[in-house]
Amino acid sequence: MKSSYLRGLNMAFFFVASKIIIFITICVYVLTGNELTASRVFMAVALYGAVRLTITLFFPFAIEKASESLISIRRIKVSMQQTEAILITRVC
């Protein structure tokens, strides 16, 4: 159930993040004293569009799968320890 919430947040992040990241990028550019022109905004949007899928979908997806893998490894470890304890008890 927890992973379903994470998947939902990941998909929501995918659709919202592009606008937020472009807005923050332009704000930082202006606040650092640079002049904002249409060509610079277009270039920023175009470059971000090229890496959008990687940043907003694959990176959070990788984090999600890594956390699921850690949970699976922990479960396997507990299962192996229980099996080992049962075997030791039968031998003694």
Q: In the structure encoding, which two tokens stand for residue 40, read together?
A: 């610079």
pLDDT of residue 84: 67
Query: What pTM was computed for the model?
Result: 0.53
pLDDT for the residue numbered 29: 94
Q: What is the pLDDT of residue 58?
A: 79
Concatenating the DSSP letter of every residue in the chain gives -HHHHHHHHHHHHHHHHHHHHHHHHHHHHHHTTPPP-HHHHHHHHHHHHHHHHIIIIIHHHHHHHHHHHHHHHHHHHHHHHHHHHHHHHHH-
Q: What's residue 91's pLDDT? A: 64
Measured N-to-C along each axis, helices 2-31 and 59-91 cross at an angle, to the nearest 10 degrees, of 140
What's the confidence (pLDDT) of residue 68?
87
The mean pLDDT values, 10 residues at a time, for the chain of 92 residues are 74 80 92 94 88 75 85 90 71 62
